[in-house]
Amino acid sequence: MTLHWTQYLSGATAIYCWLVAGVFLAFSDFIMKSLGAIPPDQAMRAMQSINILVFRSIFMVGLFAVSAASLVFISNAAFNGVGSGLLLAAGVIYLISVMGVTMVGNVPLNNELAVLDPASSEALQVWRHYINVWVNWNHVRTLGAAAAALLMTIATFRAA
């Protein structure tokens, strides 16, 4: 049995996509709840730090690698191999629900938080809005990453 290059790519991408979904799930499930349970100025400083450090993390490499693979799946859907429709769907779901939501929903909120002085009078109101809206967007990213990962996983095994 000879494996097609898309099987290797979809298998590796599925693994990292599951990891992305897991990181997002951790934020939705307990990280943001933990930040919401401590004094707001401390929580804001912690989230400001997270939003800086994430750019130097292996997580970002994978986030964009899955995006690149998704573009390959979308552009290569015409290869008509087993699972190509699943990979096309996975790529579209990932790019819209993870990257699109990140750019349209989470990043603007992070940018607003980045310039905020946690000791300022407006900080508490901004933080309350931030934590609720950010988490809602993050739920979408979590579900989208998991759905894309599942489709990639199914496509990989169907083609094997």
5 has pLDDT over 90: no
Closest CA to 109 of 99, 118, 101, 121: 101
How far apart are the C-alpha atoms of 86 and 91, rounded to whole Å? 9
2 has pLDDT over 60: no
Query: In the predicted model, what is the mean pLDDT of residues 110-121?
Result: 96
How far apart are the C-alpha atoms of 116 and 118, rounded to whole Å? 6
Angle CA 52–32–21, to nearest 5: 80
Residues 157 and 11 sit within 8 Å (Cβ to Cβ): no
Q: Which domain holds residue 38?
A: 5-159
Band (6; pLDDT cuts 50, 70, 90): confident
* 0.85 surpassed by pTM: yes
Band (157; pLDDT cuts 50, 70, 90): confident
- pLDDT for 160: 62
The total domain count for the chain is: 1
Per residue in 8-40, pLDDT tens?
Answer: 899 999 999 999 999 999 999 999 999 999 999
Per residue in 65-109, pLDDT tens?
Answer: 999 999 999 888 766 655 688 999 999 999 999 999 999 999 999
Per residue in 32-67, pLDDT tens?
Answer: 999 999 999 999 999 999 999 999 999 999 999 999
Mean of all residue pLDDT scores within the chain: 93
Q: Identify the weakest region by mean pLDDT among 4-8, 58-62, 149-153.
A: 4-8
